[in-house]
Amino acid sequence: MRLTREQRQILNGSKGEVMAKVMKTLVMYGHTFGADRLVPVSSEYNHLLTSFGLKMMTPIFELMEKLAEAGALSTQAFSVNPRPMDKAVPANLLQRLVFKYLMYSEQENYEKRLTELGLLNDKAYTCTCYLDQVGNLPQRGEILSWAEPSAVSYANSVLGARCNRNSGMMDLMGAVAGFVPRFGLLTDEGRMANWIVKVRTTEQPEAQLLGAAIAMRVKEEVPYIAGMKRWLGTELTEAVRSYLKDFGAAADSSVALYHVEELTPEAKDFGADLIKENCKVYVIDDKELERVRRSYPVLWRRKNRKPNLCFVGCPHLSMQQLKQWTLRLECGLQEERRKRVRIPTVFTAAPAVIEEFSRTEYAKRLKDTGVILSYVCPLMYMNNPLCGSLRVITNSNKLRGYSTARYYPEEELLDMLTKGEIEE
Ligand code: F3S
């Protein structure tokens, strides 16, 4: 890797031993992935993945302490992933004790540390940091040092910023040094598509199911998605951005950049020039989506029992989605001549989105349906053995993939919430 004079000096200790180690970490990281040089991080804000004060993460907390002591602080303020706990979310006494005293016993200390290190504000806990209400919105072409996969996917694909799939803590290293290694999605070549995905469904595909199908097939490569114009149009409206947010999160286990024909910024500018020669083709029709859905294992012990809980909002919901879900629930409940949902239900969104939503007429209407609004990360909530025995339903492919939650498309989920019966 070619380093500038300044970078070499930092590596040799001109800014102290700790900064030299940070630089060495980035150089080794870049070396592993064939980077040619380190380039400046150019976004206004950073976003950190690690938001949870999990007791077993002591080495990470110690590392952060060392950085703070040495004054090796990020010059960028940052947002961070959602909190793992919220009293508003239903939990029994045992769960609450385990969360507070065993699992996330370091939460308070950790949040203090994040504030010292440059957290944007105390509402900046969300994976949807790029929403207007949160305000961490990178511009096209900016270089980022982020790690949260769903946010990386959105920033690359919908905003046209440039970011690799970094790991947690590597995001902080890049922000502290102000440089990231240039390879993969930071280069023009790395942003070219090696797959064409042809969508030929007879109705708009469920965003999270489509994302999951594409991720399973293209693995870590870049897809160019054609055939979505009839469903999404050619403008990145608020509804379309919400759709792509969910689509990208469902695919984020492997896909960190996708192009949608005539819609996403690079596809609009370069069209088919973005597609590499001899690329592979994947056709998605109704049958294929059904096949993918049927391949999801059901991990509940008692598969036909009524669910205990429903989570909607992984990734966090946008304002448009909160309003839309409120209207759909009201309609569904009216049809059933009921007032409140039949399954305990939690919608999750960024604290800043919740704050703005609470000032609209929709807030009371959603509350009247019995739905709880929370800023929690559903996955962090479920990531323990106690929740493994719960029967949780969700429309999130990501939550399904990393927990025992059971996936349902939105229409079916809505039916279950209003009727209280399990869909087979
Ligand atoms: Fe966001 Fe947590 Fe889901 S970080 S994407 S709500 S797993």
| One fold for 5-186 and 309-419 | yes
Domain ranges of the chain: 5-186, 189-294, 309-419
Give percent of the chain above pLDDT 70.
100
CA distance 120 to 134: 9
Å from CA of 6 to ligand 1 middle: 37
* Tokens (6 digits) for 346: 């939690």
Å from CA of 261 to ligand 1 middle: 27
pLDDT of residue 424: 61
Ligand 1 atom 5 nearest Cα: 315
Taking every pair of Cα atoms in the chain, the longest distance, rounded to a whole number of angstroms, is: 72
Atom of ligand 1 nearest to the CA of 252: 5
Residue stretches of the chain with pLDDT short of 70: 423-424
pLDDT tens sequence across 283-322: 999 999 999 999 999 999 888 889 999 999 999 999 999 9
CATH H-level superfamily of 309-419: Aconitase, domain 3 (3.30.499.10)
CA distance 4 to 8: 6
> What residue type is 27 in one-letter code?
V
* Tokens (6 digits) for 161: 């910023």
Atom of ligand 1 nearest to the CA of 150: 5
**Which residue among 51, 52, 81, 85 is best mutated to probe the pocket of ligand 1, counting the most ligand atoms within 8 A of its Cβ?**
81
Å from CA of 83 to ligand 1 middle: 10
Could you please state the CATH topology (level 3) that the domain comprising 5-186 is classified under. Aconitase; domain 3 (3.30.499)
Contact residues of ligand 1, CB 6 A cut-off: 81-82, 127, 150, 249, 314-316, 377-379, 398
CA distance 18 to 10: 10
pLDDT tens sequence across 320-378: 999 999 999 999 999 999 999 999 999 999 999 999 999 999 999 999 999 999 999 99
Atom of ligand 1 nearest to the CA of 315: 5
- b (16+ CB within 10 A) / e for 105-120: ebbeebbebbeebbbb
Ligand 1 atom 3 nearest Cα: 314
pLDDT of residue 258: 98
- b (16+ CB within 10 A) / e for 342-370: bbbbbbbbbbbbbebbeeeebbeebeebb
pLDDT of residue 301: 86
Which helix (H) or strand (E) segment holds residue 46: the answer is: strand 46-48
Atom of ligand 1 nearest to the CA of 379: 7
* Tokens (6 digits) for 353: 């989105």
